[in-house]
Amino acid sequence: MIRILVLAAAMLPTMALGAECTLANAHYSNETMGLSLRFRPLPDAVMGNQTLAFDLVLDKAKVTIAGSVYRPNGFGAPLWSIEGPCDSGSAETCGFVEGEPTGVYANYDGEVRWIRDEEPEVPAPRQIILPSLAVSLWYSSYRNTAFVDDVDAGDVFTLTGCE
């Protein structure tokens, strides 16, 4: 009986840490491309169907691009978009995803599904997947400044920590 109590007590700090790691305080990285992703609170003035906001940092170019997750008409799959400076040092803002918007996926303990965007306090998934991100950035003005050499482009961000 004492052995069970000791084991349960030893697991409590780990479980508490896991319970505190949410989208609101999670940090993600795509080291292959030199990108960082972090969710942030929704700005005051947003579209009514926007559910999450995030910053995408192009580490090599030292540029931050604003991202959003939204549900068209408040229903359906969560979709993503990004916009920011058209190129390094530019005051002009550009959108970077062309064509049809794509969904946001997440890896929750080995199960890939739509990101849980109902509120930022949900547990942080192990990975965030933004399909078409790499190709969208590749065909932008950041092609020569944002990518690390010999990049193996990918659209997957892995959880690196929580604040």
Phi-psi region of 136 (alpha: psi -120 to 50; beta: other; left: phi over 0): alpha
pLDDT of the chain along its 163 residues, tens only? Answer: 333 333 333 333 333 344 489 998 999 999 888 889 999 988 888 888 899 999 999 887 788 899 999 998 767 899 999 988 887 777 888 887 777 788 999 999 999 999 998 776 889 999 999 998 888 887 777 766 666 555 566 799 999 999 8
Cβ-count burial 14-51 (b if 16+ within 10 Å, e if not): eeeeeeebebbebbbbbeebbbbbbbeeeeeeeeebeb
Let me know if 97 is exposed, middle or buried by CB neighbors in 10 A (0-12, 13-18, 19+). Answer: buried
In this prediction the pTM is 0.79
Rounded CA separation 130/88 (Å): 22
